[in-house]
Amino acid sequence: MKIGIIGSGALGLYYGAMLQRSGQQVRFLLRRDYHAIQKTGLQVYSCNGDFHLPQISGSLSAQEIGTVDLVIIGLKTISNHHLIDLVSPLLGPETAILTLQNGLGNEELLAEAFGARRVLGGVAFLCSNRGESGTVYHSGEGKITLGEFNDGLSQRSCDLAAMFQAAGVPCTAVSDLRRARWEKLVWNIPFNGLCALLEEDVTNLLNHSQSKELVRNLMFEVITGANAQGLEEPIDGPGFSQKLIFFTESMDHYQPSMLIDRIEGHPLELEAIYAIPLQQAKAAGVNMPRVEMLHTLLSYGESEP
């Protein structure tokens, strides 16, 4: 399969590298890593085994990539105003689009521009960071849950899940993409937000009993908002929140992406991870006051839209 990667950060580089190593034809849209990768290839340092790809098909423009069978989007949502222009040159009559971006609203944006039948969404539980140019560090996890934007378990989503699995990426196709999106928010909203606000990693956050309790309370609010969305099956609040906390306790001093963005002075993904979920919860009759306060505090100092 010919695959185009839009958004070659830690997520796009890692999954693209895994797919290329398995034999897929992967073409990366690159920015800061372009010259390093053209010169020395892509180096992946992974908890599952390091590997190096000496030859990478990288381009500085979407037009250079050309038509592909599948577009995988790992672009930060703060750049979604460029998304349509970046994706358009890659589309043929049957090209599918899989967005692995954080938060809510990404599938809707793509469906409005290109038609809902093309669009799939995926949720990536991946611990990865970029290092020096041409390198990516994978410290844990990597599972993808994906599904059709229009819901329903399709053969296409099952085939894509099988492709990722063959590449060594655990992947499951689901019938309820909305539920998967909100499940990721149960982790993203407290951990990304609190770590960025306090400039502390997940281990330090959980080692403080009061902040750990705040994490749990934020999770309960998000789960209440999620369960008001008409999911196929409700999320179990106590069980799911404890599972995520236990999972995070194994992430040795992991720095979420929003913490890194705050430290490096980059804009935060507040619209997709906070504003839209708050809007959708409120529309369903659920207020999330702790989430709203966290959003307000994170917004302080950010540039006005």
Question: What averages of pLDDT result for each successive group of 10 residues across the chain (305 residues)?
Answer: 95 97 97 92 95 96 96 96 97 97 97 97 92 91 94 93 98 96 97 97 96 97 98 95 94 92 94 98 98 96 63
C-alpha to C-alpha distance for 86 and 3, rounded to whole angstroms: 14
Q: Return the pLDDT at 303.
A: 65
Catalytic machinery residues: 184
pTM: 0.94
Q: Return the pLDDT at 301.
A: 75
Task: List C-alpha distances in Å: 200 to 203, 207, 214, 254.
Answer: 8, 11, 15, 9
C-alpha to C-alpha distance for 110 and 203, rounded to whole angstroms: 36
**Domains in the chain: boundaries:** 2-175, 178-299
C-alpha to C-alpha distance for 143 and 300, rounded to whole angstroms: 33
Which fold is adopted by the domain 2-175?
Rossmann fold (3.40.50)
C-alpha to C-alpha distance for 221 and 175, rounded to whole angstroms: 24
Q: CATH assignment of 178-299?
A: 1.10.1040.10
Q: What angle do CA 279, 127, 252 make, to 5 degrees?
A: 110
Q: Return the pLDDT at 52.
A: 97
Map residue 57 onto helix, strand or coil: strand
Q: Return the pLDDT at 7.
A: 94
Q: Return the pLDDT at 135.
A: 95
Q: Return the pLDDT at 305.
A: 45
